[in-house]
Amino acid sequence: MGLKRRGSGQPEVKRRKRVGFTEFDIGVEANECVKIFLVSKPEEVDQADSCCINPVDLNQFFGEDGKIYGYKDLKINIWLSSRSFHAYPEISFQKSFKGAMGITDLNPVFQIMFGESLVVKKDEFLDTFSTEQNYIRDVVSNGTVLHSKVMEKHDDSSTYISETESFTTEHQIISMDPSSGPVGQLYSRLVPLVLLLVEGGRPIDISDPRWDIYFSVEKEFNQLGAIGIKLLGFATMYRFYHHPDSTRFRISQLLVLPPYQGHGYGRLLLETINSIAIDEDIYDVTAEEPSDYLQQIRVCIDTLRLLTFEPVKPSLTSFSSQLKESNLSKKVGKFCSDPPAGDQKSMENFRTCIADRLKAEILEKNPETNGKTVIDVPSEYNPQMTFVVFQAASQEKVDQAGVNGNETNIQDEQLNQVVDKHVEEIVELAKKVTMHAKGQV
Q: How far, in Å, CA of 290 to CA of 270, rounded?
A: 12
Q: How far, in Å, CA of 238 to CA of 211, rounded?
A: 5
| Number of neighbouring beta carbons within 10 Å of residue 421 | 10
- Would residue 364 show up in a list of annotated catalytic residues for this protein? no
CA 65: distance to chain centroid?
Answer: 22
> Are β-strands 165-176 and 51-53 bridged in parallel, bridged antiparallel, or unpaired?
unpaired
Q: How many residues in total does the chain contain?
A: 441
DSSP state, residue 102: B
Q: Which residues, other chains included, contact 358 with Cβ-Cβ below 8 Å and sequence gap of 6+?
A: 415, 418, 419, 422
Q: Residue 231 phi/psi, 5° resolution?
A: -90, 125
Considering 43, 64, 288, 413, which one is annotated as catalytic? 288
Q: Residue 217 phi/psi, 5° resolution?
A: -125, 160
- Range 110-133 burial, b when 16+ CB lie within 10 A, else e: beebbeebbbeeeeebbebbeeee
Give the residue numbers annotated as catalytic, written as ranges: 288
